[in-house]
C-alpha cells in the first residue's frame, strides 16, 4: 500500500502557486460540495412575512408563538376564509357574513346560516382583532382561534365538524400541499385550520381612516372642521362616548348593557357567566368603519348612526344592569351632525378595498 | 517479593479458571417478559430490560342486566320505553393506587362510548395496585383550552368525530346523552320524547374509584374491567317531566347535578 501524497510543496504557502489560479478554485470544489451532506438539512430560507400597516403609537399585536404571520399561512387563511367548503352544504363561507365592503360585517340584522337558518345576533365587524381579549358578543371565547370554531360548528351557521372539514380538504391535493407548506409540523389538521384562519384575520388591520391620518400621521387637514368638533364631542364628558369606545380601537375590554331594552330576549354575557347581573350585557364593540357596518347593536336593531346617537342621547331604557355612563345628553342639531360626521371619519377606504384582503 | 507476586498471580489464575470451569451455567436474562430474554440462560444475572408495562381498561355497556346497544329499545323500572342515540363521556386524570400512594397516568384522556369495549390506557409502572381512579370530565386547563391545539387523533381534539364541546363557551360536554323516552302521562308505550343530557362545567366533574387487585409485572400488562350501567342515572327521575329529561347543565343545574352524582353508581368494577 502506498500512502505517499503527491508532492505539492507550495500548497500550504498560498503565495507561490504552481498551477494556474483557475485550477486552484477547482481544488476547492469537493470541499464546497461536501458541506451540504454534513449539514443534512438544506439552508432554510427565511419565510416571507406579512408586514402589517400599523402606524407608530399603536402597541404591537400579540402573535401566538408558532403562528407568526408568514405569507403562506395568511394566504392559506384567506383561501379558507372565502371558501364555502367550510359549510355543510358548501353554500356559505366566512365572507358570506363578513364582507369586506361592509367592513367584514353583514348588511342584515341577523345573518343566515346554511339552509337559511337564522341566528340571533348581528355578525360582528372583523377589524384589528389581534388586539381583542374576548370574542363573540358574549365574550364566551378568549382567542380568535377559539372564536372561529363557533361559526364553523354552530347548527345555525356553517353546521360542520372539524372531522368532516378535514375529510373534505384531504381530497384536495392542492389544499393538502398548502397546509403542509404553511404548517410543516402539523399539516392538514384542526390546528392548522384554525391557525391559518387566525393568521389571515390578524391581517385585517385598519389604520388608514381620516381619523388615523389626523391622529397618528399628524395630517391636520384629514378631518374637516365638523369632524374635529365631533371628535371633541365624542371625547367630552357630555356624551361619555369615549369612556367605553376609547383607545385606538374605539372600544374597551369588557361588557356593557347599553339600555336597549327593559327585557332582553338575548341574555348576553349572562349566558356565559350565569350571573343575572350580566343579563343584557354585550361585548363593547369597536367603532372602526362604523359608517359601513350597519345595522348596529348586538341584534342589528338600528339602521343608522343617527338612530344610535339618538338612543344614547335619550339615556336608554333603564335596565337594572344598564351602564351608569349612559345617562342621556342634549345636543344641538349641529352637534348631532358633527358627532355623526366624526364617526364617518373612522371609515378606512383603503381597508375596504385592499386587494390583499379580498378573495 | 517478586516470587510472592507471581505466586499470588498463579493463585488468581487458578481461581479464575476454576470459576469458569465450574460455571457450566449460562448467565443472562431469564424473564420471558423481558426484551432481552435469553432462552439459553439459566441464571438470572439482573440484566433484564423491559418494555414499559401497559394497562387496558375493558368496559361493558349495560342497561340494567342487558347489554346496552345504541339504537336499541330498553325498558325503565317504571315500564317506560327508552332508547339512546348517543351515550359518551370523557375520562381523565387516571391514577393507579398502591400501598405507597398514587401514580398518575400523565396526559391520558379517553372518551367512552358503548362501542369502546377496550380502552388502551398506555404505559404504567409495574406494581401492585388496589384501585384505579379517574375523573369523568376534564381538568379546568384543558376544559378552557383550545381543542384545536391537540393532535387530531387525541381524545380531546376538535377534529375527533365524537367531539363533544360547547364551542361558544369553550368547555367540553363531560357527558353527552341523547335519546328518546316515553315521557307521556299516562305512558303510551312509545319512546317519543327527547332525552338530552349535556353535562359539563367543573362543578360536574366527579372522581370514580374502581377497586382492583392488580399486579402488573415488569414488561407485563394489566387489565381493569368496568361496567357502565345507564339505568343507574334514572333512579328518582320522573321522565314525564321535561326538567328530568333535558339539561344543558347551566339551564337545568338540578338535573345536571343529579346525573353527575350518579356517575359513581353507573360506573363500577366488574
Q: Cβ atoms within 10 A of the Cβ of A90, count?
A: 14
pLDDT of residue B4: 58
Cβ–Cβ gap A146/B250 under 8 Å? no
Inter-chain CB proximity B157 and A190 less than 8 Å:
yes
Å between A223 CA and nearest CA of chain B = 40
pLDDT in tens, B19-61: 555 556 788 999 888 899 999 988 898 899 998 999 999 999 9
pLDDT at position B230: 97
CA torsion B111-B112-B116-B122 (nearest 10°) is: 50
Residue B22 has a pLDDT of 52
Residue from A138, A143, A146 whose CB has the most chain B CBs within 10 Å, to mutate = A146
Q: What is the pLDDT of residue A10?
A: 42
Residue B210 to residue B265: CA distance in whole angstroms: 11
CA of A36, closest CA in chain B: separation in Å?
A: 33
Closest to A145 (Cβ–Cβ): which among B148, B163, B169? B148
A274 chain-B contacts, CB cut-off 8 A: 250
Q: Which residues of B touch A193 (CB under 8 A)?
A: 148
The count of other CB atoms within 10 Å of the CB of residue A120 is 12
Contact B148 A166 (CB under 8 A): no
The whole-angstrom separation of Cα A48 and Cα A29 is: 31
Facing A163 at nearest CB: one of B147, B159, B170 = B159
Asked if residue B199 lies in contact with residue B174, where contact means CB atoms within 8 angstroms, the answer is: yes
DSSP helix/strand/coil, A195? helix
Please check whether residue A65 touches B, CB under 8 A.
no
Q: Cβ separation of A146 and B149 shorter than 8 Å?
A: no
pLDDT for A42 equals 60
pLDDT grade, residue B67 (50/70/90)?
A: very high
Q: Do B168 and A163 touch (CB under 8 A)?
A: no
Nearest Cα of chain B lies from the Cα of A145 at a distance, in angstroms, of: 8
**Do A189 and B163 lie within an 8 Å CB cutoff?**
no
Contact B169 A153 (CB under 8 A): no
Q: What is the pLDDT along chain A (359 residues), one digit of tens a residue?
A: 444 444 443 444 444 444 455 444 444 444 444 444 455 566 677 899 999 999 999 999 999 999 999 999 999 999 999 999 999 999 999 999 999 999 999 999 999 999 999 999 999 999 999 999 999 999 999 999 999 999 999 999 999 999 999 999 999 999 999 999 999 999 999 999 999 999 999 999 999 999 999 999 999 999 999 999 999 999 999 999 999 999 999 999 999 999 999 999 999 999 999 999 999 999 999 999 999 999 999 999 999 999 999 999 999 999 999 999 999 999 999 999 999 999 999 999 999 999 999 99
By C-alpha distance, which of B21, B22, B20, B27 is closest to B42?
B27
Which cell numbers hold the place of A330? 342634549
What pLDDT is recorded for position A31? 47
The pTM of the full predicted model, rounded to 2 decimals, is 0.85
CB pairs under 8 A between A and B: 67
Based on its alpha-carbon atoms, the radius of gyration of chain A, rounded to whole angstroms, reads 28
Assign B125 a pLDDT band (cuts: 50, 70, 90): very high
Say yes or no for a CB contact (<8 Å) between A140 and B168.
Answer: yes
B210-254, pLDDT tens digit by residue? 999 999 999 999 999 999 999 999 999 999 999 999 999 999 999
**Cell numbers standing for residue A113:** 346560516
pLDDT band per the 50, 70, 90 thresholds, residue B115: very high
Residue A156, chain B, CB below 8 Å: the answer is: no
Which residue is listed with cell 414499559?
Answer: B52
Distance from CA of A262 to the nearest CA of B (A): 22
Chain A: give the shortest CA distance to residue B198, in Å. Answer: 15
Q: Catalogue the active-site residues of A.
A: 157
Whether pLDDT at B259 is above 80: yes
Secondary structure in 3-state letters for chain B: CHHHHHHHHHHHHHHHHHHHHHCCCCEECCCCCCCCCCCCCCEECCCCCCCCEEEEEEEEEEECCEECCCCCEEECCCCCEEEEEEEEEEEEEEEEEECCEEEECCCCCEEECCCCCEEEEEEECCEEEEEEEEEECCCHHHHHCCHHHCCCCCCCCCCCCCCCEEHHHCEEEEEEEEEEECCCCCCCCCCCEEEEEEEECHHHCEEEEEEEEEEECCCCEEEEEEEEEHHHHHCCCCCCCHHHCEECCCCCHHHHHHHHHCHHHHEEEC
Quote the CA–CA distance of A79 and A88 in Å, as a whole number: 17
Amino acid at each position: 500500500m502506498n500512502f505517499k501524497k503527491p508532492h505539492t510543496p507550495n500548497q500550504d504557502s498560498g503565495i507561490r502557486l504552481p498551477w494556474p489560479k483557475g485550477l486552484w478554485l477547482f481544488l476547492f470544489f469537493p470541499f464546497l460540495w461536501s458541506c451540504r451532506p454534513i449539514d443534512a438539512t438544506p439552508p432554510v430560507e427565511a419565510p416571507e412575512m406579512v408586514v402589517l400597516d400599523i402606524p407608530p403609537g399603536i402597541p404591537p399585536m400579540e402573535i401566538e408563538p408558532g403562528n407568526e404571520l408568514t405569507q403562506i399561512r395568511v394566504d392559506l387563511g384567506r383561501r379558507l376564509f372565502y371558501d364555502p367548503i367550510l359549510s355543510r352544504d358548501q353554500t356559505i363561507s366566512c365572507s358570506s357574513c363578513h364582507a369586506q365592503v361592509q367592513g367584514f360585517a353583514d348588511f342584515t340584522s341577523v345573518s343566515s346560516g346554511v339552509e337559511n337558518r337564522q341566528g340571533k345576533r348581528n355578525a360582528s365587524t372583523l377589524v384589528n382583532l389581534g388586539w381583542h381579549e374576548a370574542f363573540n358578543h358574549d365574550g364566551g371565547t378568549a382567542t380568535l382561534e377559539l372564536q372561529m370554531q363557533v361559526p364553523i360548528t354552530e347548527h345555525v351557521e356553517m353546521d360542520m365538524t372539524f372531522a368532516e372539514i378535514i375529510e373534505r380538504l384531504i381530497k384536495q391535493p392542492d389544499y393538502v400541499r398548502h397546509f403542509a407548506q404553511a404548517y410543516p409540523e402539523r399539516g392538514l389538521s384542526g390546528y392548522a385550520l384554525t391557525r391559518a384562519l387566525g393568521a389571515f384575520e390578524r391581517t385585517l388591520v385598519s389604520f388608514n381612516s381620516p381619523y388615523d391620518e389626523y391622529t397618528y400621521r399628524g395630517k391636520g387637514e384629514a378631518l374637516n372642521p365638523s369632524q374635529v368638533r365631533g371628535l371633541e364631542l365624542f371625547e367630552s364628558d357630555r356624551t361619555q362616548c369615549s369612556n367605553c369606545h376609547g383607545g385606538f380601537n374605539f372600544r374597551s375590554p369588557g361588557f356593557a348593557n347599553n339600555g336597549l331594552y327593559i327585557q332582553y330576549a338575548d341574555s348576553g354575557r349572562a349566558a356565559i357567566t350565569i350571573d343575572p347581573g350580566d343579563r343584557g350585557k354585550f361585548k363593547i364593540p369597536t367603532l372602526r368603519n362604523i359608517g359601513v357596518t350597519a345595522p348596529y347593536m348586538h341584534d342589528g336593531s338600528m339602521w343608522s348612526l343617527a338612530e344610535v346617537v339618538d338612543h344614547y342621547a335619550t339615556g336608554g331604557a333603564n335596565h337594572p344592569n344598564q351602564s351608569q355612563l349612559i345617562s342621556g345628553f342634549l345636543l344641538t342639531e349641529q352637534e348631532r351632525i358633527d358627532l355623526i360626521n366624526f364617526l364617518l371619519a373612522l371609515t378606512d377606504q383603503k381597508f375596504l378595498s385592499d386587494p390583499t384582503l379580498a378573495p | 517479593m517478586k516470587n510472592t507476586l507471581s505466586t499470588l498471580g498463579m493463585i488468581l489464575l487458578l481461581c479464575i479458571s476454576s470459576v469458569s470451569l465450574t460455571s457450566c451455567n449460562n448467565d443472562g436474562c431469564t424473564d420471558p417478559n423481558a426484551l432481552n430474554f435469553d432462552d439459553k440462560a439459566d441464571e438470572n444475572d439482573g440484566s433484564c430490560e423491559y418494555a414499559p408495562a401497559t394497562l387496558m381498561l375493558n368496559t361493558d355497556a349495560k342497561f340494567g342486566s342487558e347489554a346496552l346497544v345504541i339504537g336499541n329499545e330498553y325498558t325503565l323500572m317504571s315500564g317506560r320505553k327508552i332508547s339512546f342515540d348517543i351515550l359518551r363521556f370523557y375520562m381523565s386524570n387516571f391514577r393507579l393506587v398502591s400501598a405507597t400512594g398514587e401514580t398518575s397516568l400523565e396526559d391520558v384522556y379517553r372518551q367512552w362510548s358503548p362501542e369502546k369495549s377496550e380502552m388502551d390506557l398506555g404505559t404504567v409502572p409495574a406494581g401492585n395496585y388496589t384501585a384505579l381512579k379517574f375523573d369523568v370530565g376534564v381538568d379546568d386547563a384543558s376544559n378552557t383550552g383550545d381543542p384545536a391545539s391537540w393532535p387530531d387523533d387525541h381524545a380531546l381534539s376538535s377534529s375527533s368525530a365524537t367531539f363533544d364541546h360547547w364551542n361558544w363557551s369553550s368547555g367540553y360536554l363531560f357527558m353527552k346523552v341523547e335519546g328518546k323516552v316515553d315521557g307521556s302521562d299516562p305512558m303510551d308505550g312509545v319512546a317519543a320524547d327527547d332525552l338530552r343530557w349535556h353535562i359539563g362545567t367543573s362543578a360536574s366533574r366527579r372522581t370514580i374509584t374502581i377497586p382492583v387487585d392488580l399486579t402488573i409485572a415488569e414488561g407485563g400488562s394489566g387489565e381493569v374491567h368496568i361496567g357502565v350501567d345507564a339505568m343507574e342515572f334514572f333512579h328518582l327521575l320522573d321522565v314525564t317531566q321535561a326538567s328530568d329529561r333535558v339539561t344543558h347543565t347551566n339551564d337545568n343545574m338540578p338535573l345536571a347535578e343529579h346525573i353527575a352524582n350518579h356517575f359513581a353508581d353507573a360506573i363500577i368494577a366488574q
